[in-house]
A and B are shown apart, each in its own frame.
Chain A
Amino acid sequence: MTLVLSLAVAVLFGSGSYLLLQRDLVRVVGGVVLISSAATLFVMSASLTKGTAPILPLPNGQPVSDPLVQAMALTAIVITFGVSALLLALVYRVYVSHLSLDLEDLAAAEEQAEAVDEAMGGRLERAPMTAEERDEWAMR
Protein backbone atom coordinates (compact mmCIF):
# COMPACT_ATOMS: atom_id res chain seq x y z
CA MET A 1 0.00 0.00 0.00
CA THR A 2 2.79 2.38 0.92
CA LEU A 3 4.51 1.63 -2.37
CA VAL A 4 1.33 2.21 -4.39
CA LEU A 5 0.66 5.49 -2.60
CA SER A 6 4.19 6.77 -3.00
CA LEU A 7 4.14 5.81 -6.69
CA ALA A 8 0.86 7.67 -7.16
CA VAL A 9 2.24 10.74 -5.38
CA ALA A 10 5.43 10.57 -7.44
CA VAL A 11 3.59 10.24 -10.76
CA LEU A 12 1.21 13.08 -9.91
CA PHE A 13 4.05 15.32 -8.77
CA GLY A 14 6.16 14.46 -11.81
CA SER A 15 3.41 15.16 -14.33
CA GLY A 16 2.53 18.33 -12.44
CA SER A 17 6.13 19.55 -12.62
CA TYR A 18 6.25 18.75 -16.33
CA LEU A 19 3.12 20.82 -16.96
CA LEU A 20 4.45 23.60 -14.74
CA LEU A 21 7.44 24.02 -17.05
CA GLN A 22 5.30 24.61 -20.16
CA ARG A 23 4.87 28.06 -21.65
CA ASP A 24 1.11 27.78 -22.03
CA LEU A 25 -0.48 29.29 -18.94
CA VAL A 26 -3.46 26.93 -18.85
CA ARG A 27 -1.04 23.99 -18.65
CA VAL A 28 0.79 25.75 -15.84
CA VAL A 29 -2.48 25.95 -13.92
CA GLY A 30 -3.05 22.26 -14.65
CA GLY A 31 0.40 21.55 -13.25
CA VAL A 32 -0.37 23.45 -10.07
CA VAL A 33 -3.59 21.47 -9.63
CA LEU A 34 -1.79 18.16 -10.15
CA ILE A 35 0.97 19.03 -7.69
CA SER A 36 -1.61 20.09 -5.11
CA SER A 37 -3.41 16.77 -5.60
CA ALA A 38 -0.13 14.99 -5.02
CA ALA A 39 0.21 16.88 -1.75
CA THR A 40 -3.34 15.94 -0.73
CA LEU A 41 -2.62 12.29 -1.43
CA PHE A 42 0.54 12.59 0.63
CA VAL A 43 -1.49 14.03 3.49
CA MET A 44 -3.84 11.07 3.33
CA SER A 45 -0.95 8.63 3.28
CA ALA A 46 0.52 10.18 6.44
CA SER A 47 -2.41 8.95 8.55
CA LEU A 48 -1.38 7.25 11.77
CA THR A 49 -4.11 4.61 12.01
CA LYS A 50 -6.37 2.88 9.51
CA GLY A 51 -9.79 1.36 10.19
CA THR A 52 -13.47 2.18 10.11
CA ALA A 53 -14.91 5.65 9.85
CA PRO A 54 -14.33 7.67 13.04
CA ILE A 55 -17.99 8.62 13.59
CA LEU A 56 -19.75 8.13 16.95
CA PRO A 57 -20.87 5.60 18.13
CA LEU A 58 -17.58 3.80 17.59
CA PRO A 59 -17.65 0.09 16.80
CA ASN A 60 -16.28 -2.01 19.66
CA GLY A 61 -12.71 -3.13 19.46
CA GLN A 62 -12.18 -2.14 15.84
CA PRO A 63 -9.55 0.42 15.01
CA VAL A 64 -10.80 3.72 13.61
CA SER A 65 -8.95 5.66 10.96
CA ASP A 66 -7.16 8.84 11.93
CA PRO A 67 -9.68 11.67 11.44
CA LEU A 68 -7.10 14.44 11.62
CA VAL A 69 -5.45 13.73 8.27
CA GLN A 70 -8.87 13.67 6.64
CA ALA A 71 -9.62 17.11 8.06
CA MET A 72 -6.22 18.28 6.83
CA ALA A 73 -6.77 16.77 3.39
CA LEU A 74 -10.18 18.43 3.16
CA THR A 75 -8.63 21.79 4.09
CA ALA A 76 -5.90 21.29 1.51
CA ILE A 77 -8.54 20.46 -1.11
CA VAL A 78 -10.50 23.59 -0.22
CA ILE A 79 -7.40 25.74 -0.51
CA THR A 80 -6.48 24.14 -3.84
CA PHE A 81 -10.01 24.79 -5.05
CA GLY A 82 -9.75 28.49 -4.22
CA VAL A 83 -6.26 28.84 -5.58
CA SER A 84 -7.10 27.18 -8.90
CA ALA A 85 -10.11 29.45 -9.34
CA LEU A 86 -7.86 32.41 -8.59
CA LEU A 87 -5.20 31.26 -11.04
CA LEU A 88 -7.79 30.67 -13.77
CA ALA A 89 -9.16 34.17 -13.19
CA LEU A 90 -5.64 35.54 -13.46
CA VAL A 91 -5.01 33.60 -16.67
CA TYR A 92 -8.32 34.84 -18.04
CA ARG A 93 -7.27 38.38 -17.22
CA VAL A 94 -4.00 37.83 -19.07
CA TYR A 95 -5.91 36.43 -22.02
CA VAL A 96 -8.35 39.35 -22.12
CA SER A 97 -5.60 41.93 -22.14
CA HIS A 98 -3.20 40.17 -24.51
CA LEU A 99 -5.24 37.64 -26.50
CA SER A 100 -2.47 35.17 -25.74
CA LEU A 101 -1.75 32.53 -23.13
CA ASP A 102 1.98 32.48 -23.59
CA LEU A 103 4.24 33.98 -20.95
CA GLU A 104 6.83 34.88 -23.60
CA ASP A 105 4.28 36.92 -25.54
CA LEU A 106 3.45 38.64 -22.30
CA ALA A 107 7.07 39.61 -21.79
CA ALA A 108 7.19 40.98 -25.34
CA ALA A 109 4.01 42.97 -24.80
CA GLU A 110 5.53 44.27 -21.58
CA GLU A 111 8.55 45.64 -23.41
CA GLN A 112 6.28 47.25 -25.96
CA ALA A 113 4.13 48.80 -23.28
CA GLU A 114 7.21 50.10 -21.53
CA ALA A 115 8.38 51.75 -24.72
CA VAL A 116 4.99 53.43 -25.06
CA ASP A 117 5.10 54.35 -21.40
CA GLU A 118 8.49 55.94 -21.81
CA ALA A 119 7.31 57.87 -24.86
CA MET A 120 4.31 59.24 -23.00
CA GLY A 121 6.47 60.18 -20.04
CA GLY A 122 4.46 58.57 -17.29
CA ARG A 123 2.58 55.56 -16.08
CA LEU A 124 -0.44 54.54 -18.11
CA GLU A 125 -3.77 54.51 -16.40
CA ARG A 126 -4.47 51.16 -14.84
CA ALA A 127 -7.19 48.81 -15.91
CA PRO A 128 -9.78 47.59 -13.40
CA MET A 129 -8.96 44.53 -11.31
CA THR A 130 -10.25 41.05 -11.85
CA ALA A 131 -13.17 39.74 -9.85
CA GLU A 132 -13.07 38.87 -6.18
CA GLU A 133 -11.73 35.34 -6.20
CA ARG A 134 -10.55 35.38 -2.70
CA ASP A 135 -13.26 34.73 -0.20
CA GLU A 136 -13.31 31.03 0.08
CA TRP A 137 -10.37 29.89 2.19
CA ALA A 138 -12.13 30.76 5.35
CA MET A 139 -14.09 27.67 5.96
CA ARG A 140 -12.07 25.35 8.13
Chain B
Amino acid sequence: MITALTRTVAKLLFLPSLMIAVATLVKGYADVGDGFTAGVIAGLAVLLQVIVLGRDEVERMLPLRWAPRLAFAGIALALLDALAPLAFGQPVMTHLPPANVKPIHLGSLELLSAVVFDVGVFLLVFGFSVAAIDLLGRASPDRLP
Protein backbone atom coordinates (compact mmCIF):
# COMPACT_ATOMS: atom_id res chain seq x y z
CA MET B 1 0.00 0.00 0.00
CA ILE B 2 1.79 3.10 -1.22
CA THR B 3 0.33 6.34 0.09
CA ALA B 4 1.43 9.95 -0.02
CA LEU B 5 2.92 9.39 3.43
CA THR B 6 5.18 6.50 2.34
CA ARG B 7 6.27 8.50 -0.69
CA THR B 8 7.22 11.46 1.44
CA VAL B 9 9.02 9.32 4.00
CA ALA B 10 10.89 7.45 1.29
CA LYS B 11 12.07 10.67 -0.31
CA LEU B 12 13.06 12.09 3.08
CA LEU B 13 15.01 8.94 3.96
CA PHE B 14 17.10 8.83 0.81
CA LEU B 15 19.86 11.33 1.56
CA PRO B 16 20.24 10.37 5.25
CA SER B 17 20.66 6.70 4.24
CA LEU B 18 23.41 7.64 1.81
CA MET B 19 25.10 9.65 4.56
CA ILE B 20 24.94 6.70 6.93
CA ALA B 21 26.44 4.56 4.19
CA VAL B 22 29.37 6.94 3.72
CA ALA B 23 29.86 7.17 7.49
CA THR B 24 29.95 3.36 7.71
CA LEU B 25 32.55 3.30 4.97
CA VAL B 26 34.77 5.96 6.51
CA LYS B 27 34.79 4.86 10.12
CA GLY B 28 35.45 1.24 9.20
CA TYR B 29 39.05 1.56 10.32
CA ALA B 30 38.46 2.59 13.91
CA ASP B 31 35.01 1.15 14.49
CA VAL B 32 32.41 -1.20 13.11
CA GLY B 33 31.85 -0.77 9.38
CA ASP B 34 33.29 -1.51 5.98
CA GLY B 35 32.78 -1.02 2.27
CA PHE B 36 30.49 -3.98 1.77
CA THR B 37 28.05 -2.91 4.50
CA ALA B 38 28.14 0.65 3.19
CA GLY B 39 27.40 -0.55 -0.34
CA VAL B 40 24.48 -2.65 0.87
CA ILE B 41 23.03 0.25 2.89
CA ALA B 42 23.28 2.60 -0.08
CA GLY B 43 21.79 -0.09 -2.32
CA LEU B 44 18.89 -0.53 0.08
CA ALA B 45 18.29 3.22 -0.02
CA VAL B 46 17.87 3.00 -3.79
CA LEU B 47 15.74 -0.11 -3.44
CA LEU B 48 13.33 1.75 -1.16
CA GLN B 49 12.98 4.51 -3.74
CA VAL B 50 12.36 2.03 -6.55
CA ILE B 51 9.74 0.13 -4.57
CA VAL B 52 7.86 3.21 -3.40
CA LEU B 53 8.23 5.60 -6.32
CA GLY B 54 8.55 3.14 -9.18
CA ARG B 55 11.55 2.66 -11.38
CA ASP B 56 10.64 5.29 -13.95
CA GLU B 57 10.36 8.07 -11.44
CA VAL B 58 13.63 7.09 -9.77
CA GLU B 59 15.37 7.04 -13.11
CA ARG B 60 14.45 10.68 -13.62
CA MET B 61 16.25 11.55 -10.37
CA LEU B 62 19.19 9.12 -10.53
CA PRO B 63 21.09 7.80 -13.55
CA LEU B 64 20.39 4.11 -12.84
CA ARG B 65 21.86 2.99 -16.14
CA TRP B 66 25.27 4.11 -14.93
CA ALA B 67 25.27 1.53 -12.16
CA PRO B 68 27.16 -1.20 -14.09
CA ARG B 69 29.90 1.29 -14.95
CA LEU B 70 30.16 2.18 -11.27
CA ALA B 71 30.57 -1.51 -10.47
CA PHE B 72 33.30 -1.86 -13.10
CA ALA B 73 35.11 1.17 -11.73
CA GLY B 74 34.84 -0.28 -8.23
CA ILE B 75 36.22 -3.71 -9.06
CA ALA B 76 39.00 -2.17 -11.15
CA LEU B 77 39.94 0.13 -8.27
CA ALA B 78 39.91 -2.69 -5.71
CA LEU B 79 41.91 -5.01 -7.95
CA LEU B 80 44.44 -2.30 -8.74
CA ASP B 81 44.90 -1.55 -5.05
CA ALA B 82 45.26 -5.24 -4.21
CA LEU B 83 47.78 -5.93 -6.98
CA ALA B 84 49.78 -2.70 -6.79
CA PRO B 85 52.24 -4.02 -4.13
CA LEU B 86 53.33 -6.71 -6.61
CA ALA B 87 55.05 -4.01 -8.62
CA PHE B 88 57.28 -3.33 -5.59
CA GLY B 89 58.02 -6.98 -4.95
CA GLN B 90 55.59 -7.21 -2.05
CA PRO B 91 52.78 -9.79 -1.67
CA VAL B 92 49.29 -8.81 -2.80
CA MET B 93 47.19 -6.64 -0.47
CA THR B 94 50.16 -5.34 1.50
CA HIS B 95 49.12 -2.33 3.57
CA LEU B 96 50.65 1.05 3.04
CA PRO B 97 51.79 2.50 5.42
CA PRO B 98 52.81 -0.72 7.24
CA ALA B 99 51.23 -1.81 10.51
CA ASN B 100 53.69 -0.13 12.91
CA VAL B 101 53.73 3.29 11.17
CA LYS B 102 51.14 5.84 12.21
CA PRO B 103 49.02 6.82 9.22
CA ILE B 104 48.08 10.40 8.31
CA HIS B 105 44.75 11.44 9.79
CA LEU B 106 42.16 13.64 8.10
CA GLY B 107 39.74 14.14 10.96
CA SER B 108 38.67 10.61 11.83
CA LEU B 109 39.64 9.28 8.40
CA GLU B 110 42.97 7.45 8.27
CA LEU B 111 44.83 7.48 4.99
CA LEU B 112 45.60 3.81 4.33
CA SER B 113 45.85 1.89 1.08
CA ALA B 114 43.19 -0.38 2.58
CA VAL B 115 40.72 2.51 2.44
CA VAL B 116 41.13 2.63 -1.34
CA PHE B 117 40.31 -1.07 -1.48
CA ASP B 118 37.21 -0.54 0.62
CA VAL B 119 36.08 2.36 -1.54
CA GLY B 120 36.42 0.04 -4.52
CA VAL B 121 34.35 -2.60 -2.72
CA PHE B 122 31.74 0.04 -1.85
CA LEU B 123 31.45 1.17 -5.48
CA LEU B 124 31.28 -2.42 -6.67
CA VAL B 125 28.58 -3.50 -4.21
CA PHE B 126 26.58 -0.32 -4.68
CA GLY B 127 26.81 -0.44 -8.46
CA PHE B 128 26.05 -4.14 -8.56
CA SER B 129 23.03 -3.96 -6.27
CA VAL B 130 21.59 -0.93 -8.07
CA ALA B 131 22.09 -2.68 -11.42
CA ALA B 132 20.35 -5.78 -10.09
CA ILE B 133 17.51 -3.70 -8.64
CA ASP B 134 17.22 -1.84 -11.92
CA LEU B 135 17.06 -5.10 -13.88
CA LEU B 136 14.52 -6.71 -11.58
CA GLY B 137 12.59 -3.44 -11.26
CA ARG B 138 11.94 -3.62 -14.97
CA ALA B 139 10.37 -7.04 -14.48
CA SER B 140 6.75 -5.93 -14.47
CA PRO B 141 4.25 -7.69 -16.74
CA ASP B 142 3.44 -4.64 -18.88
CA ARG B 143 7.09 -4.31 -19.88
CA LEU B 144 7.47 -7.74 -21.37
CA PRO B 145 8.37 -7.82 -25.05
Chain B: residues with Cβ within 8 Å of the partner, total of 23
A135 touches B71 (CB 8 A): yes
Determine the interface band of chain A, counting residues with CB < 8 A from chain B.
Answer: 20 to 34
Q: Tell me the total A-B contact number using a CB cutoff of 8 A.
A: 55
A85 touches B139 (CB 8 A): no
B128 touches A135 (CB 8 A): yes
When distances are taken between beta carbons in the complex, the residues of chain A under 8 Å from B2 are none
Judged by DSSP, the binding face of A is helix
Q: Which of A5-13, A41-49, A59-67, A91-99 lies at the binding interface?
A: A91-99
Q: Which of B8-16, B17-25, B130-138 lies at the binding interface?
A: B130-138
CA distance A16 to B136 in the complex (A): 23
Judged by DSSP, the binding face of B is helix
B131 touches A132 (CB 8 A): yes
When distances are taken between beta carbons in the complex, the residues of chain A under 8 Å from B71 are 132, 135-136
Chain B residue with the shortest CB-CB distance to A74? B36
Interface residues of B in 34-57 (CB under 8 A from A): 35-36, 40
Known A74-B36, A89-B132, A96-B145: A135·B124 in contact at CB below 8 Å: yes
CA distance A78 to B37 in the complex (A): 10
CA distance A34 to B139 in the complex (A): 23
Q: Closest 7 A-B residue pairs measured CB to CB? A: A85-B132, A136-B128, A139-B121, A131-B135, A92-B139, A135-B71, A135-B75
**Could you list which residues of chain B lie within 8 angstroms of chain A, going by C-beta atoms?**
31-32, 35-36, 40, 68, 71-72, 75, 78-79, 121, 124-125, 128-129, 131-132, 135-136, 139, 144-145
**Extra contacts besides A133-B131, A140-B36 (4): CB < 8 Å:** A131-B132, A138-B124, A139-B121, A139-B124
